[in-house]
Copies of this chain bind each other. A is one copy, B any other.
Amino acid sequence: MGNIIDIIGRKFLLFDGAMGTMLQQRGLKPGDNPEIFNIEKPDIILDIHKSYIDAGADIITTNTFGANELKLKDSRYSVEEIIKRGIDIGRKAAKDKFIALDIGPTGQILKPIGTLEFEKAYEVFKRQIIVGNSMGVDLILIETMSDLYEMKAAILAAKENSNLPIFATMTFQDNKRTLMGTDPKTMVFVLEALGVDALGINCSLGPNEFHPIIDEILKYASIPVIARPNAGLPIYKDGNTIYNITPEEFSKEIVNMANRGVSIFGGCCGTNPNYIKAVSHKLQYMKPLNILPKDYTTVCSATNTIFIDGSIQVVGERINPTGKETLKNALINEDMNYVLREAIEQQKLGADILDINAGIPEIDESLIMEKMIKEIQGILDVPLQIDSSNPETIEKAVRIYNGKPIINSVTGDMATMESIFPIAKKYGANVIGLTMDEKGLPSNCEERVKICKKILDVAESYGIEKNNIIIDCLTLTASVNQSQVFETLNAIKQIKELYGVKTLLGVSNISFGLPNRKLLNRTFLTMALTYGLDIPILDPKDEEMMDSIRAFRVLSNSDKKAKKYISFYKSQPKEKSELKLDSLDEKDI
């Protein structure tokens, strides 16, 4: 059938159905590893695979779901033995159809909730993938994941130890979140950022419950979408688990999903060759819809997606030790509680994203950066911006970050782009492009626009789309460069008009050396927002700045009906000067 990459999205692809369900009917005892059958009862496995091929499946999933060293630690067979035999059997059944190396969860829970280290999970998956890759499967199917972090470990293992296509599906609960809290759109943005070839959901729910989740996935996905539902919901009857949907009902719902854009199907728990046959039968005269590429700019933690969509997202700037003695000492003493408090407070005050910087000479920057990220992502759902001038620190940070971060930053200098863009591409991070280069800070709008163009072009050559580049037009100090204030603002406007790219700006530099800095800061902030600034970087403890943002969101029609504004301010005590004026007005009216 050739390379599956050439086919996905153009023709429907049909996975097989359940393996475990079938094996229980053939003597698998509860608590046993189904993968042992690959060695001890290979004919049963071959038989099941063949029955799915006969039913019309295009892809056989190897019987290797749980074949990892953690689940097999008490087994008499090695991971390698089991996977090799699994692939052998799969290939024998599939003949010229595709076979997918099936990889399920490790079975253990990652830190900080569990005890499994991210890099240990990576090693577990790596061992599975090395075997699969050496045996020549057609793709790697990472499935039934509840934890996006574990999924990331598996994807990285797949990418770093093979060139195989990666299909990735997670399993969702009724509340449209995975057990670990990831929502469909966050899954879409993070998995696409990590470079998988198809994504979707499997298990836990039947096709009827899949619909709302699939709809959300289809709204945001730019790559082919997979749906492998159970045969409905489980019913416990006479000590057995049976499922409530017939092959006919199942296949009708699959057609429904096909009509909305899903192009890769299969069955999970409770399904059998009859289900696959019904689906195959129904899909044979249909063609998949095109998945149109989307160009959202998003920043994600594992459970939260921030859209950069003109509604103003605030980056909190407080976790940066430059000039902050207390934070500096906290980092030196590895006092992560202090860091966490700063993070929690900033989010509470309205930060949508947090900048994280550990750039002081007294500490091991990479180590402390990793520590901070792990602490914060373990507690808060606010996405992070990795801020370092050290590419090694950046790579370590984005590797262990559980989401789609922003990297702060590259400049128009080729050296910074050459060191950072490969990292951003591999780990799927957004990158801030500062409109400066080896010649320093530009003095006018035109030079900024030129550097922006260069950054976008170089990014493209690394396969990074412009929706993942965020441009910083750089605020100069008004007391020194008063005539250039509008150069920055005009650059924001022009860059957005010319390239449709999102913009970010730190504003407080504007007021350096002048009295009443807060007034200048909030005024400049409003000016920049008016000219199209998407992401201000600021101190969320600066109430005037946050006030300005809340007001701007009303005036730019993003806080619809001023609901958030009203709920924030309706109970605020009036300021002194306001009281004075108001009492006058009331008297006057």
A residues whose Cβ falls under 8 Å from a Cβ of B = 323-327, 478-479, 482-483, 485-486, 489, 510, 514-516, 518-520, 523-524, 526-527, 529-531, 539, 541-544, 547-548, 550-552, 554-557, 560-562, 565-566, 569-570, 572, 575, 577-578, 581, 585, 587-589
Question: How many angstroms from the CA of A372 to the CA of B479 in the assembled complex?
Answer: 42
Q: Are B327 and A588 interface neighbours, CB within 8 A? A: yes
In the complex, chain B residues whose CB is within 8 Å of the CB of A529: 527
A523 touches B551 (CB 8 A): yes
Q: Tell me the smallest distance from the CB of A397 to a CB of chain B, in Å.
A: 24
Distance (whole angstroms) from the CB of A256 to the closest CB of chain B: 35
Task: Contacts A556-B486, A562-B479 given; indicate if A543 touches B577 (C-beta within 8 A).
Answer: yes
Q: Give the 3 A-B CB pairs with smallest separation, nearest first.
A: A523-B551, A526-B526, A515-B569
When chains A and B are docked, how far (Å) is the Cα of A327 from the Cα of B585? 11
Q: Do B326 and A578 touch across chains, with their CB atoms under 8 A apart?
A: no
**Given A555-B510, A577-B543: A588 and B323 interface contact (C-beta under 8 Å):** yes
- Residue from B325, B486, B510, B516 in contact with A572 in the complex, judged by beta carbons closer than 8 Å: B516
Cβ-defined contact, A557 with B523, below 8 A: no
**When the two chains form their complex, are residues A527 and B514 in contact, meaning their CB atoms are under 8 A apart?**
no
Whether B547 lies near A519 (C-beta < 8 A) is yes
Instruction: Take A514-B566, A572-B515 as given contacts and tell me if A520 and B555 are in contact as well, using a CB distance cutoff of 8 Å.
Output: yes
| Docked CA distance A368–B19 (Å) | 94
Which of B516, B526, B560, B569 is close to A530, meaning CB atoms less than 8 Å apart?
A: B526
CB-defined A-B contacts under 8 Å, sample of 18: A325-B587, A325-B588, A326-B588, A482-B554, A482-B561, A483-B557, A485-B555, A486-B557, A489-B530, A514-B562, A515-B570, A516-B572, A519-B548, A519-B569, A523-B551, A524-B555, A530-B531, A541-B581
The residue from B324, B557, B566 contacting A485, defined by CB atoms under 8 A apart: B557
Determine if B560 and A516 form an interchain contact, defined as CB atoms under 8 angstroms apart. no
**How far is it, in angstroms, between the C-alpha of A518 and the C-alpha of B577 when the chains are bound?**
10
Instruction: For residue A519, give the distance in angstroms from its CB to the closest CB of chain B.
Output: 5
Residues in chain B near residue A589, CB distance under 8 A? 323-325
Chain B residues contacting A554 (CB-CB under 8 Å) are 478, 482, 514, 520
Closest residue of chain B to A570 (Cβ to Cβ) is B515
Most buried by B among A326, A489, A529, A588: A588
Distance (whole angstroms) from the CB of A260 to the closest CB of chain B: 30
Residues of B within 8 A of A478 (CB): 554-555, 562
C-alpha spacing A570/B517, complex, angstroms: 11
Please tell me if the beta carbons of B482 and A587 are within 8 angstroms of each other in the complex: no
Q: How far is the CA of A269 from the CA of B483 in the complex (A)?
A: 49
CB neighbours of A530 from chain B (8 A): 489, 526-527, 530-531
A587 to chain B, nearest CB (A): 7
How near does chain B come to A550, taking the closest CB pair, in angstroms? 8
Determine how close the nearest CB of chain B comes to the CB of A351; give it in whole angstroms. Answer: 16
Closest to A518 in B: B578
Known contacts A323-B589, A518-B578, A566-B515: A527-B547 contact under CB 8 Å: no
- A550 partner residues in chain B, CB cutoff 8 A: 519
Task: Give Cα A552 to B485, complex, Å.
Answer: 11
Given contacts A530-B526, A555-B524, A572-B515, contact A562 B482 (CB under 8 A): yes
- Taking CB atoms, residues of chain B closer than 8 Å to A572 are 515-516
Known contacts A323-B589, A324-B589, A482-B557; A552 and B527 CB within 8 A of each other: yes
Once bound together, how far apart are the Cα atoms of A473 and B157, in whole Å?
A: 60
Residues of B within 8 A of A323 (CB): 585, 588-589
In the complex, besides A326-B588, A516-B565, A516-B569, 5 extra interface pairs with C-beta distance below 8 angstroms are A483-B557, A516-B547, A520-B551, A523-B552, A539-B581
A510: which B residues are within 8 A, CB to CB? 555
The residues of B that contact A516 with a CB separation of less than 8 Å are 547, 551, 565, 569, 572, 578
A457 CA to B504 CA in the complex, in Å?
Answer: 43
Report how far A585 CA is from B512 CA in the complex, Å.
13
> In angstroms, how far is the closest chain B Cβ from the Cβ of A565?
7
Distance (whole angstroms) from the CB of A462 to the closest CB of chain B: 35
Residue in B closest to A565 when the chains form the complex, CB atoms: B514
CA separation between A166 and B523, bound complex, in Å?
49
| Docked CA distance A551–B479 (Å) | 12
A355 to B554, CA, bound (A): 29
Residues of chain B lying within 8 A (CB to CB) of residue A577: 518, 543-544
| Contacting residues, chain B, for A489 (C-beta < 8 A) | 530
A482 surroundings in chain B (CB, below 8 A): 554, 557, 560-562
Could you tell me the distance between the alpha carbons of A100 and B489 in the complex, rounded to whole angstroms? Answer: 57
Output the nearest chain B residue to A560 by Cβ-Cβ distance: B482
Chain B residue nearest in CB terms to A321: B588
Instruction: Report chain B residues within 8 Å CB of A570.
Output: 515
